[in-house]
Structure 1
């Protein structure tokens, strides 16, 4: 009994650290990307996409990581029927928004970088005007497609037949009929596969263009061209890392989810590892942005300069 309590405590601390780090990183980025609105500066089109991505990732951690952390510490009936429906619906919607926004971010950078995708300069200049509408669509489809979650998920106290329900530690979901489950699986599989396919295509195009530019720079020694391409290359490499990270976590999470659904009594380590993987992209992507965004380094440098110059100013007085 003591070993079980110790294991639950250790797992709860891991979930708390894991989720807390991701929420802190995404919240910092959200404030950074919206700082231009507060200071009345010109908002870059990509900042709107990045703000939506970190917001969706934060919602994933709030709706998945926090309840799982509370359940790991031994709390079981902390959500009522409405709470279970809301948490699961929010998680599914946030996951869908994160997927579509990552796809949008990859497509936006590909249009900026690849002339063959933008089909001339007109699309490259017109596309930023429609980013707000594209971000709106990223929310509409997940909100509509996941409505059935509200009807299925229920609180354990409202559960009538545990043998025909799937447990999620703090809530239950009735196992759907074969036809209904197949229809939902086809819809979600199609939308996910389409977004993942677009990510792979745009990422491959960006890699090809970067390789082509690198070979061209070996023959053309232009500082202006080199500086412009190096800036685009840094942004593109960051997005390629994010896309690769998202696809990796998504594939591993899908395999684990299928494994769990096909197992009668899945082991505790399998459930715990699946939870960590499903929250992997929202947590680690925030640190990719923090280490790659030049505004973060400028802000840290400004704070460090102000801190080091403060004693000298005081001594001068």
Structure 2
């Protein structure tokens, strides 16, 4: 094992460990709040599925790629390789879709009640569970053919078009079919990214306009804390900029990875780092930007009428 592989292995191990810790902590806290009745927010349902999808990415991509970087190669058979890559694709798609759904739901929630979104604002929470279910089904169906391109390295066959990922490999088939299937895989991601840009831009615009209307009220307050509108706008900008930055970086390395028939291992490892960056970082952003995550449940129960008893439907 050379120094480069050891360095990548340590970085991948750190990223995977932090990502799993963050997503499991977020999921545990949301489930704890749900069963204890401490808080009821419609967006918590999206966050639970987001944490599950992010954990799938960390488990199916981070752990085997870390093992490969440390020199443990060819430890999976065909079924293991196909299953891990399929779970990674589904988890990645649901993570993007959940982030998009979260942005759209928030945009609808904060929209003025006197607009054409009034009816959708009332009905949106009722269809939230169905939307998440359809998101899972869509990505499970779209990626159903993806395992066909993946195989293990146990057979030791020499195939000119085989692309080695360290622990598994992919085989290039008909170029036209590959291009069409790549377009099919990219279409849901492109739609989700477009909708998220629209929703995030709408939220920033609505919150900025509301802030301008109540500027005098906030100016007369003695508290030095920023207004709720400002904090919400900052959270939106942080989430969107983080998602777009890591997603763009992941696309760049995926294009680089796809352009080489025999990519070097550092390209493979870097592409894995970029692909797992957002699933590893997003839970910490959500927990750090939401004050309710730092509040104790028993305090909410003891003060049901206080500001900590959150009811947001």
TM-score with structure 2 length normalisation? Answer: 0.86
1:315 matched residue in structure 2: none
Determine whether 1:126 maps to 2:123. yes
Determine whether 1:20 maps to 2:29. no
Residue pair 1:64, 1:91 contacting (<8 A) in 2 also: yes
Structure 1 residue corresponding to 2:53, chosen from 46, 53, 56: 56
Aligned to 2:170, the other structure's residue is in SS state strand
* Cα 1:237–1:133 shift into 2, 3 Å: farther
1:172 matched residue in structure 2: 169
Determine whether 1:294 maps to 2:295. no
* Cα 1:93–1:120 shift into 2, 3 Å: closer
Unmatched tracts of structure 2, length 5 or more: 300-313
Aligned partners of 2:266, 2:217: CA distance in 1, in Å? 55
1:30 matched residue in structure 2: 27
Residue pair 1:118, 1:124 contacting (<8 A) in 2 also: no
Residue pair 1:165, 1:175 contacting (<8 A) in 2 also: yes
1:101 matched residue in structure 2: 98
1:66 matched residue in structure 2: 63
Higher normalized contact order (CA 8 Å, seq sep 6+, divided by chain length): 2
Residue pair 1:9, 1:72 contacting (<8 A) in 2 also: yes
Determine whether 1:86 maps to 2:97. no
* Cα 1:181–1:41 shift into 2, 3 Å: same
Q: How many residue pairs were aligned?
A: 296
Residue pair 2:165, 2:265 contacting (<8 A) in 1 also: no
Aligned partners of 1:13, 1:282: CA distance in 2, in Å? 18
Q: What does the per-residue CA deviation read over 1:246-278, in whole Å, with 9 as the maximum and x for residues that have no partner?
A: 122111111111112223543443333222111
1:175-194 alignment runs, 5 A limit = 175-194=172-191
* Cα 1:14–1:172 shift into 2, 3 Å: same
Residue pair 2:60, 2:84 contacting (<8 A) in 1 also: yes
Determine whether 1:251 maps to 2:248. yes
Residue pair 1:110, 1:117 contacting (<8 A) in 2 also: no
TM-score with structure 1 length normalisation? Answer: 0.85
1:145 matched residue in structure 2: 142
| Greater mean alpha carbon deviation, residues 14-23 or residues 161-170 | 161-170
Aligned partners of 1:42, 1:294: CA distance in 2, in Å? 13
Aligned to 2:145, the other structure's residue is in SS state helix
Aligned partners of 2:6, 2:132: CA distance in 1, in Å? 40
| Greater mean alpha carbon deviation, residues 156-165 or residues 200-209 | 156-165
Determine whether 1:205 maps to 2:202. yes
Aligned to 1:166, the other structure's residue is in SS state strand
Residue pair 1:33, 1:47 contacting (<8 A) in 2 also: yes
RMSD between aligned alpha carbons? 2.6
Unmatched tracts of structure 1, length 5 or more: 303-317
Q: What does the per-residue CA deviation read over 1:69-115, in whole Å, with 9 as the maximum and x for residues that have no partner?
A: 11111101221111101000000000110111110000001001223
Aligned to 2:74, the other structure's residue is in SS state coil
Determine whether 1:275 maps to 2:272. yes
Q: Which has the higher helix share?
A: 1
Residue pair 2:257, 2:263 contacting (<8 A) in 1 also: yes
* Aligned-residue offset at 1:40: 4.2
